[in-house]
Structure 1
Amino acid sequence: MQPTDVDPREFIAGVENATRRADAARLVDIMRDVTGEEPVMWGPSIIGFGSYHYVYESGREGDAPLAAFSPRKANLVVYLIGGYQERYPEQLARLGPWKPGNACLYLRRLDDVDEEILRFLITDSCDLTRAEYPS
């Protein structure tokens, strides 16, 4: 996955569902605030903030956004550090409705979740990623 030259605002403007479009704009503000970075499109559908370079023991390496989300048709997908479910059980219990993924948190609507907890999850995920993959 690589950053692209597509304008994230144009991508968001093309999201069909008005609620999903508004939630995406709000998530841009949240992630910009948390990371201090501007949004950049990664691939065709992921909006990322900042980046880091990873190298696995296998030798595989690449770049990824420090924080990211995607306004998909059925859900907002917030990308967090792997193992977030085990790391944050208390926070997730208070977040509001969500569905798990490997390193993905699936949300239906931002109005249904506790924004303070969402900000915590994103912030801590970024802090842990920065610690694991210092630049």
Structure 2
Amino acid sequence: MAENKTQPTDASVDDFINQTESPKKREDAFRIKQIMEEETGEKAIMWGPSIIGFGQYHYKYESGREGDFLITGFAPRKSAISLYLLGCMETSFDELFAKLGKYKTGASCVYINKLSDVDETVLRELIRTAYQYMKDKYPTK
């Protein structure tokens, strides 16, 4: 059975963020890290070379494939900051998204150019709600 390519690592989250070229994106990344730690109660961990994750869950598909993945997280990319808010595309988060501000979505990601483009209070609620959704859907034994 193939393992996920994206696995938790021992790499330093702060060192990774400090390598972000744009000073503004670096500042936003440290702020998002703080927000996610506060809203999830989880410590930031590097997943693979470029994703900062908070918490993890175990999944098992009907095909038999199973593994572990981060519950929520983000990646400060060149084009945008990718927020991994798993579950928020599956459930009715429309009301929160309507109040979030300037963003784009794809699969299980919310893309923002900069933190000031979104309402931090709404972002916090999205993170909290998506995190709790995943904790409820994939309870730990």
Shorter-chain TM-score tier:
over 0.9
The equivalent position to 2:18 in structure 1, one of 13, 17, 32, is 13
Give the Cα–Cα distance (whole angstroms) in 1 for the partners of residues 118 and 87 of structure 2: 21
- Secondary structure of the structure 2 residue equivalent to 1:66: strand
Which of the pair is proportionally richer in helix?
1
TM-score (structure 1 length as normaliser): 0.95
Instruction: Show the 5 A alignment for 1:1-135.
Output: 1-82=6-87, 84=89, 87-135=92-140
- 1:38–1:50: 8 Å Cα contact kept in structure 2? yes
TM-score (structure 2 length as normaliser): 0.91
Q: Cα offset for 1:86? A: 5.6
Equivalenced residue count is 135
- Secondary structure of the structure 2 residue equivalent to 1:65: strand
82-91 or 109-118, larger mean C-alpha shift? 82-91
Give the Cα–Cα distance (whole angstroms) in 2 for the partners of residues 58 and 121 of structure 1: 30
Structure 2 alignment gaps of length 5 or more: 1-5
Q: Cα offset for 1:88? A: 1.2
- 1:2–1:64: 8 Å Cα contact kept in structure 2? yes
Percent identity, aligned pairs only? 47
Give the Cα–Cα distance (whole angstroms) in 2 for the partners of residues 21 and 94 of structure 1: 25
- Secondary structure of the structure 1 residue equivalent to 2:75: strand
Amino acid at match of 1:19: K
Give the Cα–Cα distance (whole angstroms) in 1 for the partners of residues 60 and 90 of structure 2: 23
Give the Cα–Cα distance (whole angstroms) in 1 for the partners of residues 14 and 47 of structure 2: 13
Give the Cα–Cα distance (whole angstroms) in 2 for the partners of residues 57 and 121 of structure 1: 29
Report the counterpart of residue 3 of structure 2 in structure 1.
none
79-88 or 30-39, larger mean C-alpha shift? 79-88
Two-structure CA RMSD over aligned residues (Å) = 1.2
Structure 1 alignment gaps of length 5 or more: none
